[in-house]
Structure formats: structure tokens, C-alpha cells
Amino acid sequence: MKSFRLIIPFLFIFISSCMAKPADNSSLSGMIEDGLRILSVDEGSTELDFTIYRGDYIVFDFEKAGSYNFTVPSLEIDTIMPKPETEKPYVKMKESGEYSFTLGEREGIIRVLELVEPHYRELTAAEASDLLANTDPVIIDVRTPGEFENAHIAGAELLPVQVLAHNLDKIMQYKDEDILLYCQSGNRSTVAAKILIDSGFTNISNLRYGIGDWIRKGNPVE
């Protein structure tokens, strides 16, 4: 099994990135920084309209300081943004579709799209098992170190999505080879796939429902 050397601290934080770049699809909103999609909210805006990918971890960049209630009723999301320092700073968008939301006194629409790219495919647990049985892909686990230690697919290397953009040099030698990405449920790995595709990787497979489904289907882990 191919492998690469990467030292990841057991504890890591979301930090601002000088490597952030805008999405290359003009229909998408915001930009990706350290695995988070940053959505800007101008002080004068009253109606908001955002388009993102399923799996995106969203945070809001407010022009005016303060806290705002963020609700997406059909997804049962009701929280405060920015979140308290004791909580994870983002909201995960797990399901594709078009949703009405409120952010403070503002109302808006957020469209959550499935990732569709020429160099990308999503695999079920059975399809991923067949891939591993018949080929020798680079397997990358994009979860946290703690999750990786608890259980991971044999041969997988840890590269959390939060630090992926800063460590592309560690895997650039595999740019044109088969890469299988996975996380817990298939959301973080979708974000990771977009980062790799934007960086020129040409053959990305994503375990659509993550290692959780992989385990439920009786597949082995270490």
C-alpha cells in the first residue's frame, strides 16, 4: 500500500489561512479556508443568497460585529453564529437541496449542491471494497487524530481536512494516481475531494457514507 509521511499534532485548531482561494465555480459562494467555507455577510444586506456544496462546513464573516441566530427550519438547525469558543465554529451542511434560512433579522436561501466533477466519483461501501480488492489506491482518512486512532481502514494515512491544503506537498506525487478519501459520514471527504481536484488531482474516489457505513456493512477496520 502506498504511504506518505505526515506528522499531525494530536490537537489542532482552525486557523486563518493565507492559502485560501475563492471557489473556481462562479455559482458558488464564499471561499474555503482550512476546510471551512467562509460566507461573507455585508452589514447592509437584507436578503441573503448562498450556493455551497453538500458537506461544506460553513461559517459567516460578518461585516458588523455581534452574534446572530442562524436557523434552517427544514434541517432543524437553530444556533448562534459566530459560535461560542467552547463549540465547533461551523455548521455542517449534510443534505443537498434548497433551504430557506434566517440569520438574525435577515432572510435568505441556501442551495446545497452535490459535488460533480470529471475527476471525481462517489462509492458505496461495496464499491470501495471492490476498489481495494482490485487496485492499490492511496487511502486518505480526513478525520481527526482521535477518530483515526479509534478505527481506520487498513493502509489509510491520516490527513485531516483542516490541514489538507497546507500539506499538499506530502501527496502531490500521487496527483495522477487513484486516491480514496473517507471521513465519518462522507461530508468532510467531499470537502477534501474539492480541495484536491482544485489542486490538479485527477482520480478521486469518495466513500460516500463514510467509515461509519463501511463498518455497519461488516467491512474490516484496524
Note the pLDDT of residue 8. 44
* 222 assigned to some structural domain: no
| pLDDT above 80 for 19 | no
Q: Does some domain include residue 13?
A: no
The residue count for the chain: 222
Residue 8 lies inside a defined structural domain of this protein: no
**144 and 88 in a common domain:** no
Residue in the block written with cell 502531490:
172
Which three-class secondary structure string do you get for the chain?
CCCCCCCCCCCCCCCCCCCCEECCCCCCCCEEECCEEEEEECCCCCEEEEEEECCCEEEEEECCCCCEEEEEHHHCEEEEECCCCCCCCCEECCCCEEEEEEECCEEEEEEEECCCCCCEEEECHHHHHHHHHHCCCEEEECCCHHHHHHCCCCCCEECCHHHHHHHHHHCHHHCCCCEEEECCCCCHHHHHHHHHHHCCCCCEEEECCHHHHHHHCCCCCC
Q: Is the pLDDT of residue 128 over 80?
A: yes
The answer on 77 and 29 residing in a single domain is yes
Residues 99 and 145 in one domain: no
Q: Is pLDDT of 20 > 50?
A: no
For range 134-146, the mean pLDDT: 96
Residue whose grid cell is 442551495 = 111
Q: What average pLDDT does the segment 63-87 reach?
A: 92
Q: Of 54, 82, 113, which residue constitutes the final position of a domain?
A: 113
Instruction: Classify residue 10: in a domain, yes or no.
Output: no
* Domain CATH for 152: 3.40.250.10
Q: Is residue 221 part of a domain?
A: no
Q: pLDDT digit string (tens) for 155-211?
A: 999 999 999 999 999 999 999 999 999 999 999 999 999 999 999 999 999 999 999
Looking at the domain assignment, is residue 43 inside a domain?
yes
User: Which residue among 57, 92, 113 closes a domain?
Assistant: 113
Q: Are residues 102 and 127 in the same domain?
A: no
Average pLDDT, the chain: 87
Q: 108 and 127: one domain?
A: no
**What is the domain count for the chain?**
2
- If asked whether residues 153 and 212 sit together in one domain, one would say yes
- Amino acid code (one letter) for 160: P
Task: Examine residue 56 and state whether it is found in any structural domain, yes or no.
Answer: yes
Confidence of residue 27 (pLDDT cuts 50, 70, 90): confident
Which grid cell is 163? 490541514
| Domain extent for 96 | 21-113
* Across 23-27, average pLDDT: 54
Q: Does 136 share its domain with 206?
A: yes
pLDDT of the residue at 137: 96
Do 82 and 157 sit in the same domain of this protein? no
> What is the domain-level CATH number for residue 74?
2.60.40
Does the pTM surpass 0.85? The reply is no
Last residue of a domain, one of 62, 95, 113: 113
* Residues above pLDDT 70, as percent of the chain: 88
Are the C-beta atoms of 110 and 81 separated by less than 8 Å?
no
Do the domain assignments include residue 72?
yes
pLDDT at 3: 61
**Same-domain check for residues 35 and 104:** yes
